[in-house]
Structure 1
Amino acid sequence: MKILAILISAALSISSCSNSQSKNKSVVTNPEKYAKTITASELKSMLYTYASDDFEGRKTGEPGQKKAVEFIKNQYVLEGIPSPISKDDYFQEIPASFLPNGTKDSENVLAYIKGSEKPDEVVVISAHLDHIGISRNGDINNGADDDGSGTVAIIEIAEAFKAASKDGFTPKRSILFLHVSGEELGLYGSRYYTDVDPVFPLENTVANLNIDMIGRIDPKHEGKPNYLYLIGSDKLSTELHNLSEEVNKKYFNLEFDYTYNADDDPNRFYYRSDHYNFAKHNIPVIFYFNGTHADYHRPTDTPDKINYEFLETRARLIFYMAWELANRNERVKLD
């Protein structure tokens, strides 16, 4: 009887392990359930708060920016998504001495989900939390698209990964949700993270997916809005670029516009958002961008002008890409 009990126990253990492996294999290739938790209604609700006058344009170091970091932190606390810095400390402090003269100290906001199999390898999803503040005439620059859209997209993506983890499908690699300050001043927050205090070693950073303005349509694409500009995807890793194309074709088949990815692009957008501070350290990057519009850096960049259905689709696309990067067997290779 004792031998029989041991055999039954072993069989049950093998069966359980097999079922678990099968379940994980299935969800890794079919993450739609979690992508669907990213919704236009939740993005809209958050953005109407985040890009409201109460936040005074979120200028780096100013009271409105302090409200912004508290708002972001509270979203992660509410969802039970921890900080990689220490318990209850979501702020990476950036001293005034690091920032342009006259700018007060500021903060990056960090949250993460620890990987289940390769926790030391990390995928970074970033967006800048700051904007340009209040104009001289007193008008508030709300920055709904720039970069409120990226900020709320990351929060929704994080919630989708958390929902998967609650179901037992924690990503293989860790994912860092990085909200950086000081972008409008010259990419200071991301530079502080990469050059001064990388919470995760840069050599273990698999890729950076950077989101900066994904809630609008630019004049070039009016009438054919099923698009997104991608910048940098092939600069360091052909494998990352090809994976990005495959993910898009599998789930959405958006038009990926690479106009601003050209080496001779006069706008030099490749050098003008936070992904660049990762790229200069040979970390593969993708910069997601909807292009500029008439409300860029103006008080008229308000949340009522965001297309929330497009924002939902684009955020889901980035979630799928992060999912693939976090769960594939091997990290993407540098050329």
Structure 2
Amino acid sequence: MASKISDPPRPLPTATTRTPAAKAPQPSETNKVKTPDLKWNKDCFEPGNAQPLPLPKPPVSLPLPLPKPPSQLPTDPKPLPTDPQLPTDPKPLPTDPKPLPLPEPGPVEPTPEPKPEPSITDSDPMTHIAYLASDELQGRDSPSAGLDAASAYVQAHVEKYGLVGPNSNNAENPFQQKFDVFSFVGKPETSATGDAGEHDHAAHKEFGHQLFQEGFYLEDGMPRETLEMLNKKYESTMKAEGQPLAPARSGDLRSVEELRALATASGQAVNTMALLPGTGPHKDEVIVVMAHLDHVGTDRRGNVHNGADDNASGSAVLMAAVPELAEAQKRGELDRSILFIWTGAEEKGLVGSQYFVDHPIPGLSTEQISGVVNVDMVGRWDDQRLSVVDTDRRGQANYFRDVVDQANAQLADPFDRINRDINVYRDRQDGAVFGRKGEDVLFLFEGLSNPKGGGDLIPEYHEPEDDIDLILRDNGGEKPRRVKDLMVNVIELAANRTTAKE
């Protein structure tokens, strides 16, 4: 396994102060997809005080002599004189000239494709939030066509900047890792009046999910540890619903086949991933940078839960960091590799992250991971504070504590407050599944109301009102931009850190 918390770090490398990234034009304060105005190119000019230029006068036509009528023309005109210098009987031109020999074709040099320059709009999280949180994606449920569209959008972005799909297990698309989603819970019941009930997630007033809280994956050959968790989940679910248990056919665990018969399948979800290879001696190690791409879809009343803060904001921060980190890699400034993961089915219970840990990518197993950064809900409130979790399961600070402080100091306008009082959420976010494997995890989060730390979740948590206009109202989009700048600093420091063993 790559260097963990037990390795006391040497002083972190210093870097120049990061200036705030250039802003793209802010997106419209509505999520609705508008039809573009096609009248912009019509000849419409604003009236002004300037006098019109005089039109040019037409040219004056001189009178020409009229031709004589036919009766006045000579009846026997003399033949025109011939030029004695011209031949009277010229030789005919050849009708079938021989073609000139063409040069032999040589090898055609391929025209190199120009590498894209970092785009201001690509580097602005608000650009990506505007799309990911649009009604077009219908809340990005797991599984859904909206989540698939979001995955395709992310993939097109990372491919543009030269990142590679690392999942060689999926030859069809190495940028994706697909898994089936199941549940032990039956269909939600309507109220006694016959009206549709509230959204399935409306009761979640506490941030995050426990593992497999509302869904899970099932697959032949899955780790026994995960199968044990699913057996316990089945038993607790049946007990809560007052239903009898189906006993295991043999032994103390129900098999994958037995659990599949007891569960309800909802479809296939996807993890989207991309690798930015390192260029130094530790390029075989990876820093995992992740955010969940999914949200909760639509409710039974047809309301779209766009999830602008939860978690289009974190997903967009990752996307906006790609151009800058790709440039750093071209300059040879990233020792370790960077693995980006946009997980699916986080809202079902950290399903996508657990599937990734149980099915590591060839060459990118937990042994190669030397740090994990998870970003969730970083769009709201003011832009001068941020909450983090940088401790292990024993509550001890990991190496990211010093990294965050130094990364913040490198900003041209550092965050005023880095709050570290949300350890209660350590196990309710995607990074927790890596923490259970002994990885050092940093969790960047801002969903609480108290500027000095703690407080309540945003009132719009898992509600249809979680839209981009509230991010613009709170901070004009500066919060996601500043989190992106901080995260880039964190990744560069983590990718280039040295340990006591070196």
In the superposition, the TM-score normalised over structure 1's length comes to 0.81
Q: What are the residue-to-residue correspondences of 1:261-300 with 2, within 5 Å?
A: 261=423, 268-291=424-447, 292-300=457-465
Aligned: 1:85 with 2:184: no
What whole-Å deviation, never above 9, does each CA across 1:307-327 have from its counterpart, x for those lacking one?
A: 311110111101100110001
Aligned length: 293
Q: Which residue of 2 aligns with 1:231?
A: 389
Q: Quickly say closer, same or farther: Cα 1:231–1:142, change in 2 above 3 A.
A: same
Q: Quickly say closer, same or farther: Cα 1:72–1:285, change in 2 above 3 A.
A: same
Q: Which residue of 1 aligns with 2:15?
A: 29
Aligned: 1:197 with 2:360: yes
What whole-Å deviation, never above 9, does each CA across 1:65-107 have from its counterpart, x for those lacking one?
A: 1111111111112222211124862101113461673321111
Q: What is the deviation of 1:156?
A: 1.0
1:271 is paired with a residue whose SS is coil
What whole-Å deviation, never above 9, does each CA across 1:15-41 have from its counterpart, x for those lacking one?
A: xxxxxxxxxxxx9723737x7368675
User: Equivalent of 2:419, from 257, 260, 275?
Assistant: 257
Q: Quickly say closer, same or farther: Cα 1:203–1:141, change in 2 above 3 A.
A: same
Q: What are the residue-to-residue correspondences of 1:140-151 with 2, within 5 Å?
A: 140-151=304-315
Amino acid aligned to 2:432: Y
Q: Is the 8 A contact 2:386 2:415 kept in 1?
A: no
Q: Is the 8 A contact 1:325 1:332 kept in 2?
A: no
Q: Which residue of 2 aligns with 1:301?
A: 466
Q: Is the 8 A contact 1:149 1:214 kept in 2?
A: yes
Instruction: Find the aligned partners of 1:137 and 1:75 in 2 and give their Cα distance.
Output: 33
Instruction: Find the aligned partners of 1:293 and 1:182 in 2 and give their Cα distance.
Output: 21
Q: What is the deviation of 1:236?
A: 5.3
Q: What is the deviation of 1:279?
A: 0.5
Q: Which residue of 2 aligns with 1:311?
A: 480
Instruction: Find the aligned partners of 1:244 and 1:285 in 2 and give their Cα distance.
Output: 12
Q: What are the residue-to-residue correspondences of 1:107-256 with 2, within 5 Å?
A: 107-117=270-280, 118-166=282-330, 168-199=331-362, 200-217=364-381, 225-233=383-391, 235=395, 237-251=397-411, 252-256=414-418
What whole-Å deviation, never above 9, does each CA across 1:149-192 have from its counterpart, x for those lacking one?
A: 011100111221112233x2341000011100010000000001
2:278 is paired with a residue whose SS is coil
Instruction: Find the aligned partners of 2:437 and 2:402 in 1 and give their Cα distance.
Output: 21
Instruction: Find the aligned partners of 1:283 and 1:236 in 2 and give their Cα distance.
Output: 13
Instruction: Find the aligned partners of 1:242 and 1:32 in 2 and give their Cα distance.
Output: 17
Q: What is the deviation of 1:331?
A: 8.5
Instruction: Find the aligned partners of 2:322 and 2:495 in 1 and give their Cα distance.
Output: 13
Q: Which residue of 2 aligns with 1:21?
A: none
Q: Which structure carries more helix by proportion?
A: 1
What whole-Å deviation, never above 9, does each CA across 1:249-268 have from its counterpart, x for those lacking one?
A: 3321431112212xxxxxx3
Aligned: 1:328 with 2:497: yes
Q: What is the deviation of 1:237?
A: 4.5
Instruction: Find the aligned partners of 1:273 and 1:332 in 2 and give their Cα distance.
Output: 31
Instruction: Find the aligned partners of 2:383 and 2:345 in 1 and give their Cα distance.
Output: 30
Q: Which residue of 1 aligns with 2:208?
A: none
Instruction: Find the aligned partners of 1:44 and 1:136 in 2 and give their Cα distance.
Output: 29
Instruction: Find the aligned partners of 2:380 and 2:397 in 1 and give their Cα distance.
Output: 28
* Residue segments in structure 2 that go unaligned for 5+ positions in a row: 1-12, 27-120, 183-216, 219-262, 448-456
Q: Quickly say closer, same or farther: Cα 1:238–1:90, change in 2 above 3 A.
A: closer
Amino acid aligned to 1:137: R
1:259 is paired with a residue whose SS is coil
Q: Is the 8 A contact 2:18 2:410 kept in 1?
A: no
Instruction: Find the aligned partners of 1:331 and 1:78 in 2 and give their Cα distance.
Output: 37
Superposition RMSD in Å: 2.5
Instruction: Find the aligned partners of 2:495 and 2:305 in 1 and give their Cα distance.
Output: 36
Q: Quickly say closer, same or farther: Cα 1:172–1:31, change in 2 above 3 A.
A: farther
1:89 is paired with a residue whose SS is coil
Q: Is the 8 A contact 1:206 1:332 kept in 2?
A: no
Q: Which structure carries more strand by proportion?
A: 1
Q: What is the deviation of 1:244?
A: 1.8
Q: Is the 8 A contact 1:165 1:171 kept in 2?
A: yes
* Residue segments in structure 1 that go unaligned for 5+ positions in a row: 1-26, 218-223, 262-267
Instruction: Find the aligned partners of 1:298 and 1:253 in 2 and give their Cα distance.
Output: 28
Rg larger in structure: 2
